[in-house]
Amino acid sequence: MLRGKTALITGSTSGIGQGIAEAFAVKGCNIVLNGFGDAGEIELLRSRLAADHGVTVRYDNADMSKGDAITAMMDKAIAEFGAVDILVNNAGIQHVAPIDDFPIEKWEAVVAIDLMSSFYTIRRALQAMKERKWGRIINVASAHALVASPFKSAYVAAKHGVAGLTKTVALEVAEQGITVNAVCPGYVLTPLVKKQIPDTAKARGITEQQVIKDVLLAAQPTKQFVTVAEVAALCVFLASDDAASITGAIMPIEGGWTAH
Ligand code: NAD
């Protein structure tokens, strides 16, 4: 039932977003990729997804910290495909610092990309979804939409904000065939997280294995990373007709982290 629908995934040139884009391409959806990175690698990804799955794949380089660029991306996708049937707000950045030492421009960037960008995409996506009486909005939040960690004030505030936005929009469109949910991953071993491991090992004078076990996975009872494939499969399920009654949910996928 997803074949022929259009899925736009922000921040899909890497990590979780790329996995979600591929999972929707496997289901026969046309895809709009977005995110930063090497132009040649992005073109390889775009053409591979199109060729492997027989779907149309576009790439838009809109900066998720800029409202005008986001609006232009949405309008272009809707003009080409008629609607963004499945909107996945995934782009995100992190910055770690004590609140009294947190650079103002970093705080603003985290909130703009991790929270505000979803306001700009959602407000543009809804009209065509309402006309089709069908839509799926999936916000990639975080376990940090449910619990806090020190030194991540901007990220935790933004992700808690995403939870509030999710519930509010879900209520506004509940009678129109549109569901709005947030998925809340624990640690996923994406390029972003991988890059932190050697530096943390060096800074703390411990091995990379100890960083994984005692730092990254300390809060995750399964002691396993959540996988990109697991998050992508949850998103595909939330887009399915079987999930039509799931809306306004803030859904953990974090190996038991928030059960503590
Ligand atoms: P990643 O760094 O691998 O991917 C982030 C993507 O966002 C990239 O495609 C990047 O180009 C894009 N992006 C960043 N800034 C952008 C901007 N201004 N405009 C457009 N695109 C931009 O990270 P990831 O780990 O795959 O994270 C994806 C999402 O999952 C984020 O919202 C993150 O908060 C969330 N998340 C990640 C984890 C984890 O452990 N990796 C855990 C919970 C939640």
The number of distinct structural domains making up the chain is 1
The pLDDT tens digits of the residues spanning 63-107 come to 999 999 999 999 999 999 999 999 999 999 998 899 999 999 999
**176 is a domain residue:** yes
- Residue pair 102/131 in contact (Cβ under 8 Å)? The answer is no
The pLDDT tens digits for 16-39 are 999 999 999 999 999 999 999 999
Question: CA–CA separation, 250 vs 169, rounded Å?
Answer: 13
Average pLDDT estimate for 143-165: 96
**What does the alpha-carbon distance between residue 146 and residue 251 come to, in Å, rounded to a whole number?**
10
Query: 139 CA to middle of ligand 1, Å?
Result: 12
Read off the CATH number of the domain in which 37 is found.
3.40.50.720
Q: Which residues pair with 250 in a beta bridge?
A: 182
Residue 210 lies in a domain: no
Residues known to be catalytic = 155
Residue 84 belongs to some domain of the structure: yes
* 193 band by pLDDT with thresholds 50, 70 and 90: confident
Verify whether ligand 1 is closer than 6 Å to residue 38 (CB atom): no
Distance of CA 165 from the midpoint of ligand 1 (Å) = 19
Average pLDDT over every residue of 167-194: 96
- Residue 47 within a domain: yes
Best substitution site from 10, 18, 34, 36 to test ligand 1's pocket, by max atoms within 8 Å of Cβ? 36
Residue 82 lies in a domain: yes
Range of the domain at 133: 6-186+226-255
Residue 205: partners with Cβ closer than 8 Å, 6 or more residues away: none
**pLDDT at residue 224 in the model:** 96
Q: Are 158 and 226 in contact (CB under 8 A)?
A: no
Task: Assess if residue 170 is contained within a domain.
Answer: yes
Does a structural domain hold residue 68?
Answer: yes
Residue nearest to atom 6 of ligand 1 (CA): 11
For residue 192, the model assigns a pLDDT of 78
Q: Do 15 and 93 form a contact (C-beta atoms < 8 A)? A: no
Is a pLDDT exceeding 90 seen at residue 196? no
Does residue 72 form part of some domain?
yes
Neighbours of 168 (CB within 10 A): 11
Cβ(185) – ligand 1 distance below 6 Å:
yes
pLDDT tens digits for 34-69? Answer: 999 999 999 999 999 999 999 999 999 999 999 999
Is the C-beta atom of 118 inside 6 A of ligand 1? Answer: no
